[in-house]
Amino acid sequence: MELTQDDVIHILKLIDQAPVGHFSLQVGDLKLEVLKGDGQSVLPTMQLAPPVAQVVATADSKPSTAPVGAGATAPASAAPAEAGVLVIKAPILGTFYRRSQPGVPAYVEEGSLVDEDTTVALIEVMKLFNPVKAGVKGRIVRISAENGSLVEYGQELFRVEPA
């Protein structure tokens, strides 16, 4: 038996409505694992609530920003954030886009001012585009991800100098 994309979306919607915290399914080569927490949907195929940025001070007092509940860290190849600089991380795994469509300006550039509700990028998962909100107020000082590249959950996307 092979599942179609519509089957997977239907399964994910059912799981989202169910009072379960963890679901795992394997059919052939497809492995589907869903974790839910805080009463919010974490389904990559549904419109996600914008990630809420949270300032976290590490042992070396270098703050970073992560979506609430994000336990993953940035890949080892990412340079550590400078003191006083916040990091906007990927809330889900998918393809990272800096603009809504080809030929239009990017949501933000280095030097752009953002606030908590500013959309800074999109992440595509299974043909659905999920907005990434800044979650912090400040100025973009670095764009860490390449447009059109695959990003992992928790991967650094932008660095922001807080306002």
pLDDT in tens, 81-140: 577 899 999 999 999 999 999 899 999 999 999 999 999 999 999 888 999 999 999 999
For 144, the token pair is 């860490």
Other CB atoms within a 10 A radius of the CB of residue 61 amount to 8
Which residue type does 132 have? V
Please report where in the chains the tokens 């764009």 appear, as a residue: 143
3-state secondary structure of 13: helix
Q: How far apart are CA 15 and CA 23, in angstroms?
A: 8
Domains in the chain (CATH in brackets) are 1-45 (no CATH), 53-162 (2.40.50.100)
pTM: predicted TM-score of the whole model, two decimal places: 0.54
DSSP state of 79: P
